[in-house]
Structure formats: structure tokens, C-alpha cells
């Protein structure tokens, strides 16, 4: 059987991407309430924890030296510099969670999604789009987690990220939350069903004499 990330029967990987503030985290929380079997990959970052964020739960908070050392050791599936900090997906996160066969969700920005496309071409990539740049700015400001400079840095990156939406097979417009959540759930269920069918066929072929 073909191995992915050193795992025989990996769980399906879903990449949820799109600009900061578009609602990725909100949608993923909603999805996980509906589908508790889904596992969320905990990213590493050098940015400071926001109030209430917990190390190992929201992020693995690393200092710049540790991030650089682990990057040099090849521990990341993908990593980027974003808005003045480093972010990355640790191989150990994916291997640990996918080896149990669970569907794994990565919540990452667009450059990282491109890297994952090369590293894991079977992963399902979903781009979340805002109704408009103005609404994105409003959500970022109202979220209240970033100072005005941080909001501006995120908006500057967002302008480029929005141009990438055509690269993605699945695009969800996060206008009405409930409708966007239903679309996300239906994409995830559809992909899980077709990957289960693919695995069953693969097993059938292996059993042929
Ligand atoms: P991201 O994870 O992409 O950075 P968040 O999930 O933190 O974005 O959402 C940013 C803000 O927008 C939050 O305050 C969230 O409550 C709000 N939000 C998310 N989806 C919607 C929506 N469909 N309509 C209005 N506000 C939304
Ligand atoms: P925040 O600082 O708001 O938590 O995250 C900023 C941006 O980085 C968001 O768009 C978020 O999705 C993205 N991000 C979080 N973790 C990762 C990661 O591991 N890799 C990449 N490429 N982006 C990430």
C-alpha cells in the first residue's frame, strides 16, 4: 500500500485556507461540532499568544531560534513568514493524527496551502472567501485580537491572497455563516466518502491473486 507521511492508511487531510479574519477558525469550530471525529493540526508559530490562547492547544508557541532549528531539522511539512512572524505545520502533528486514520484539518494561509499541495497532492484544499475586502476589514477590527497595525498587515496580505482563489478546487463564500458551514460539511463528507471508496477499491486490487 502506498505510504503517505510514512503512514499506511492515513486519515484524509483537509486544508482550509483564505485571508486572516475571513472566518476559517469559526467555520472549523462549527465543523468539528458536527463531526467530532475530525482532528485539528496544531500549528507552530513565533507570534505571541493572545489572551486566552494556550500552548499546545491553539498553537505550539516557539521562539525564533527554536522555530529555525526545527525548520533546519526538516520538521515542518510547510512553513511561512506571515505578518512579521513564522508559522508552520509540524510533520509530527500530521503523522500522529493521520496515523490514527482520523480526518485532519490544517488551518493555514495561502502560501502554506501551496506548499502542502506539492507535499500532499491528495489533500483536499478549500478556500474561504469574504463577501468583500471591506467586510473582511470589519471582521478583523471587530474580532479585536490585533492592534491597528496588525490589522493593516493582515489586510495587505489579504489583497494578494484573494487573487489566489482560482487555484482552489473548492471555494466557499463565507457570507451567511450557516450556509457556509453547510457547504463545508458537504464538501468534507463528499471527499471522505470518495476517499473511502478509493481505499476499498485499492484493497480489492491487492486481494487479487
Ligand atoms: P480566521 O480564522 O479566518 O482568521 P475568524 O474565524 O477568527 O477568522 O473570524 C473572524 C471574525 O469574523 C470573528 O469575529 C468571527 O466571529 C467573524 N465571522 C466569521 N464568520 C462570519 C460570518 N459569516 N459573518 C459575520 N461574521 C463572521
Ligand atoms: P493568526 O496570527 O491570526 O493566528 O494567524 C495568521 C494567519 O496564519 C492565518 O491566516 C492562519 O490561518 C495562518 N496560519 C496559522 N497556522 C499556520 C501554519 O501552520 N502554516 C501557515 N502557512 N499558516 C498558518
- Whether residue 207 is predicted with pLDDT greater than 50 in this model: the reply is no
Which pLDDT value is given to residue 98? 73
Q: With a threshold of 0.75, does the pTM exceed it?
A: yes
- Locate the ligand 1 atom nearest the alpha carbon of residue 142 and give its number: 14
Beta-sheet pairing, 39-40 with 85-90: unpaired
Q: Specify if 76 maps to a domain.
A: no
- Assigned domain for 198 exists: yes
Inform me whether the pLDDT recorded for 199 exceeds 80.
no
**pLDDT for residue 14 is more than 90:** yes
* Residue 172: domain span: 13-41+102-207
Answer yes or no: is 1 within a domain.
no
Per-residue pLDDT band at 3 (split at 50, 70, 90)? low
Task: Report d(CA 56, CA 145) in Å as an integer.
Answer: 19
CATH number of the domain bearing residue 30: 3.40.50.300
Over residues 201-209, the mean pLDDT reads 47
Domain count of the chain?
1
Residue 26 CA to ligand 1 centre (angstroms): 6
* Residue with CA at minimum distance from ligand 2 atom 9: 20
Across the chain, mean pLDDT equals 90
Contact in structure between 52 and 69 (CB atoms under 8 Å): no
Position 209 scores a pLDDT of 35
Predicted confidence band of residue 10 (pLDDT cuts 50, 70, 90): low
Determine the pLDDT at residue 97.
78
Q: Return the number of other C-beta atoms located less than 10 Å from residue 141's C-beta.
A: 13
Domain assignment of residue 178, yes or no: yes
Any domain includes 71? no
Please tell me the distance between residue 133's alpha carbon and the centre of ligand 1 in angstroms.
13
Residues with beta carbon inside 6 Å of ligand 1? 20-26, 139, 142-143, 174, 177, 180
Whether residue 78 lies inside any domain: the answer is no
C-beta of 86 in contact with ligand 2 (< 6 A): no
pLDDT score at 29? 97
Is there a domain that residue 142 lies in?
A: yes
> pLDDT-derived band of residue 57, with 50, 70 and 90 as boundaries?
very high
Helices 133-143 and 148-162, packing angle to 10 deg: 150
Give dist(CA 170, CA 106) in Å, integer. Answer: 15
Q: Is residue 9 pLDDT above 60, yes or no?
A: no
Rounded to 5 degrees, what are φ and ψ at 45?
-150, 155
The answer to whether residue 130 is domain-embedded is yes
Amino acid at each position: 500500500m502506498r505510504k503517505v507521511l510514512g503512514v499506511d492508511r492515513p486519515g484524509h487531510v483537509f486544508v482550509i485556507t483564505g485571508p486572516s479574519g475571513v472566518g476559517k477558525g469559526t467555520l472549523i469550530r462549527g465543523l468539528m461540532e458536527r463531526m467530532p471525529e475530525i482532528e485539528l493540526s496544531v500549528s507552530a508559530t513565533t507570534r505571541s499568544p493572545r489572551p486566552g490562547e494556550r500552548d499546545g492547544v491553539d498553537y505550539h508557541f516557539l521562539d525564533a531560534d527554536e522555530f529555525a532549528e526545527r525548520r533546519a531539522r526538516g520538521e515542518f511539512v510547510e512553513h511561512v513568514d506571515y505578518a512579521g512572524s513564522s508559522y508552520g505545520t509540524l510533520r509530527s502533528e500530521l503523522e500522529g493524527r493521520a496515523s490514527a486514520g482520523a480526518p485532519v484539518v490544517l488551518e493555514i494561509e495561502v502560501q502554506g496551502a501551496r506548499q502542502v499541495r506539492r507535499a500532499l497532492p491528495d489533500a483536499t484544499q478549500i478556500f474561504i472567501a469574504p463577501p468583500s475586502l471591506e467586510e473582511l476589514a470589519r471582521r478583523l477590527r471587530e474580532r479585536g485580537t490585533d492592534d491597528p497595525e496588525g490589522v493593516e498587515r493582515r489586510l495587505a496580505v489579504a489583497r494578494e491572497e484573494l487573487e489566489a482563489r482560482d487555484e482552489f478546487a473548492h471555494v466557499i463564500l463565507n457570507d451567511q455563516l450557516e450556509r457556509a458551514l453547510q457547504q463545508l460539511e458537504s464538501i468534507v463528507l463528499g471527499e471522505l466518502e470518495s476517499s473511502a471508496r478509493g481505499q476499498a477499491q485499492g484493497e480489492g486490487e491487492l486481494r487479487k491473486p
